[in-house]
Amino acid sequence: MENAYISWPNTGLVAARNRTKGVNVVDLFLDDVIGSQFGGVSPKQFNEQISAAGEVDRINLYINSPGGSVFDGIAMYNTLRNAKAEVIVEVTGLAASAASVVMLAGDVRRMAESCFLMIHDPWDMTMGSAEVHRIKSDRLSMYGAKIASIYERHTDLTADQAQEMMSMDKGDGTWFDSEEAIELGFVGEVTEATKMAAHVQDFVGYFGARNSVSARTKKIDKRLDFMKRHSLQSK
């Protein structure tokens, strides 16, 4: 087995190329925020890691990310969807926000049983007149509809169901554990427990106080109510 390791300085993106039993494989570790504007991984860096690996038969992508830029997440998703190689994605800690979109690019999608998934409405900050805010609001709705269509394409949810889950708690969205993720079709397999990366705790600050224990309890209640109304709970 041959190995070659490539990494981008100051980011949580690492690639390891190896050849096992005649199969060329690149292991990508997306272990950071998505988007250079947040100090994280950009689509350019992501694409260059894949290109640097050369022709491969399989791309293994391991995700532990709180998400970030909508556009950068969609760009990474499209890169993987257009890849000639088979794409296998495994969530090793958290796939939240834009990272949940990247995750859905996998031909095979797995999630360790100790992991979590989160989807929510797009967020943004706007300064300007009332008209500027109205325009941005319309654009955010458009972004949300596009993300919901991606969820519809790869899961058992309709776009309307996805948007309802994204909009829960005034747009803060819905959290799922691995069993719920497999029930709704976000992943196809739950793997054995995997130890989360140590700095996953740093992601708490990214989401802030909205994910306190009391807020989490409210999210769970709303999620269960939604699943019951749409007959999505396991029998």
SS3 for 201? helix
Catalytic residues: 97, 120
| Measured CA angle at 72 (ends 121, 142), to 5 deg | 40
Q: Tell me the pTM.
A: 0.78
- The answer to whether 93 and 60 are in contact (CB under 8 A) is no
DSSP state, 196? P
H-type alpha helices, 36-129: 43-52, 70-81, 98-103
- The answer to whether 56 and 63 are in contact (CB under 8 A) is no
Name all domains of the chain by residue range, CATH numbers in brackets: 2-229 (3.90.226.10)
Cβ contacts of 13-22, under 8 Å, gap ≥ 24: 13/41, 13/45, 13/46, 13/49, 15/49, 15/50, 15/52, 15/53, 17/53, 17/54, 17/56
Nearest Cα residue to 206 out of 29, 114, 68: 68
Per-residue pLDDT of the chain (235 residues; tens, 9 = 90+): 344 434 444 455 666 666 666 788 899 999 999 998 888 999 999 999 888 888 899 999 999 999 999 999 999 999 999 999 999 999 999 999 999 999 999 999 999 999 999 999 998 888 999 999 999 999 999 999 999 999 999 999 999 999 999 998 877 789 999 999 999 999 999 997 644 443 333 443 444 333 333 444 455 555 556 666 665 644 3
